[in-house]
Amino acid sequence: MVRAVIRLAAMQVPQVRALVESRRAALQERDAALMERGAALQERDAALRTATALQEHCRDIEAALARVTADTFRSMLDACAPETWLRLMLNDADLWLPRDTLRTMVHCAFRRPDGRLLLHVEEAHLRWMMERLAEGGTFLDVGCATGATTLPVAVILGGRVRIISYEPATAARNLLTATLERNRIEGVELRPVAVADRPGTAEFREFQPDETGEIPFLPETSTLVGTIIADRPHLSLQVPVVTLDDDALPRCGADPVVVKIDVEGFETFVLRGAAALIAARRPWFCIDIHSDPFGDGTVTTESAVRDFLAERDYRFETMGHVLLCSPLG
């Protein structure tokens, strides 16, 4: 009761009444601002949900278009004669490519707005390598297959880079040889040998094309024989084997040296045979990681690759299934 009387008396003082009314107005403004902020946050959250839904929808559309493009491209290639060549862009390189090479790349086909087909084959990895070769150097493509990496490097970097490509698989190598000739590309030294940790010969399994078209890339997965290996139609061959220390180091020109390794699980074998190259030239490595062909089928070669190169002062960046390895010194 006393407090109420005091409050009433105080309100009779103009200065006190002004302060109270000012405080009340300020609180009302604060509450209004909070309400506006709450409404704005709700609008933002709704906009974010809409944007996320649109992004997911766009991704779904892009994936659907990619599937349609790939299916259409595959059907077109299946209808072509084996000797057919098509001209299109492979990772920014304008090339004539044979039908059987294109059959290994249908999942990488995209349609430009002008209707022209583009092939983006591990383009991010290729860009990483080409940035290090921009001013020249030596490029070693170990397991070059039909040339998805060799060809763009040769076309885009031209005479600035020395290119040595290794491929023991006859079918894939013949396609690359024909492609180099058809496009009049010079300066690629194509070596018909496997690469491992010691010179000699080894059993090599060259997979045959899948005539159903379901797995057209089988010839590209041909490999040296390990404990675990696919049981598919194949030819068993004895192929010559070299090491990068013996075969590549004497051929390497100016720095830098960039090495791409895609050898179906024999990555550490290639590295062990490149110890002198690593010590002398400190190359960059772009390494496709695969299942360990001497494991139990549950582990990959990544740990062994990292251990080998970490001991030699390399740092690593993972890009999909590829390990990018840079020398620290």
**For residue 201, what is the domain's CATH number?**
3.40.50.150
Q: Are both 173 and 318 inside the same structural domain?
A: yes
Residue 184 lies in a domain: yes
Q: Is residue 273 part of a domain?
A: yes
Burial class (CB in 10 A: 0-12, 13-18, 19+), 142: buried
Higher pLDDT, 34 or 227: 34
Among residues 166, 141, 120, the alpha carbon closest in space to that of 287 is found at: 141
Q: Is residue 53 part of a domain?
A: no
Task: Tokens 């031209």: give the residue.
Answer: 158
Q: 62 lies in a domain?
A: no
The verdict on residue 65 lying in a domain is no
Where does a domain end: 57, 88, 119? 119
pLDDT of residue 298: 84
Partners of residue 110 on adjacent β-strands:
118
Tell me how many degrees the CA angle 110-115-116 measures, rounded to the nearest 5: 65
Q: Is the pLDDT of residue 89 over 60?
A: yes
Q: Do residues 261 and 191 share a domain?
A: yes
C-alpha dist (Å) from residue 27 to 14, 33, 34, 64, 94? 20, 10, 10, 55, 69
Angle (CA) 91-157-188 rounded to 5° is 95
By three-state DSSP, how is residue 80 classified?
coil
Question: Could you tell me if 273 and 230 lie in one domain?
Answer: yes
Q: How many residues does the chain have?
A: 329
230 part of a folded domain: yes
Phi, psi torsion values for 234, nearest 5 degrees: -160, 170
* Range name among 76-80, 155-159, 281-285 with the lowest pLDDT average: 76-80
Confidence of residue 43 (pLDDT cuts 50, 70, 90): confident
pLDDT in tens, 250-308: 988 778 999 999 998 899 999 999 999 999 999 999 999 988 888 877 889 999 999 99
Query: Are 152 and 107 in a shared domain?
Result: no
Asked if residue 274 and residue 316 are part of one domain, the reply reads yes
Q: Which two tokens stand for residue 83?
A: 């000797």
CA-to-CA separations, 249 to 138, 201, 225, 285, in angstroms, rounded: 10, 20, 26, 15
Strands across the sheet containing 93-98: 93-98, 85-90, 117-119, 109-111
- Report the share of the chain in percent with pLDDT over 90: 45
Q: Is residue 60 scored above 60 in pLDDT?
A: no
The total of other beta-carbon atoms located within 10 Å of residue 187's CB is: 14
Give the integer Cα–Cα distance in Å for 219 and 104: 9
Residue 22 and residue 145 in one domain? no
More confident residue, 6 or 240: 240
Summarised one tens digit per residue, pLDDT across range 6-18 is 555 555 656 656 6
Confidence of residue 154 (pLDDT cuts 50, 70, 90): very high
User: Quick one: residue 323, left, alpha or beta (phi over 0 = left, psi -120 to 50 = alpha)?
Assistant: beta
**Does 148 share its domain with 271?**
yes
Domain enclosing residue 29, as ranges: 2-47
Look up tokens 């390794």; give the residue: 261
Give the Cα separation of 79 and 66 in Å (integer). Answer: 20
CA nearest to 152, candidates 168, 141, 166: 141
pLDDT (0 to 100) of residue 173: 93
213: CB partners within 8 A, 6+ apart: 74, 78, 103
**Single-letter amino acid, residue 84:** T
Q: Of the candidates 119, 148, 175, which is a domain's last residue? A: 119
| pLDDT for 52 | 73
Shared domain for 210 and 109, answered yes or no, is no
Same-domain check for residues 267 and 180? yes
Contacts of 195 (CB under 8 A, 6+ apart): 142, 143, 166, 241, 242, 243, 244, 247, 263, 269, 270, 273
33 and 172 share one domain: no
How many structural domains compose the chain?
Answer: 3
pLDDT, the chain, mean: 84
Which residues, listed in sequence order, are joined to residue 189 by a DSSP beta bridge?
164
Same domain (yes/no): 209, 90: no
Q: pLDDT at position 259, please? A: 98
Is 248 inside any structural domain? Answer: yes
Amino acid 23: pLDDT: 73
Question: Would residue 165 count as lying in a domain?
Answer: yes
Same domain, yes or no: 242 and 141: yes
pLDDT tens, position by position, 94-116: 999 999 888 888 878 877 777 77
Tell which of 85, 102, 119 closes a domain: 119
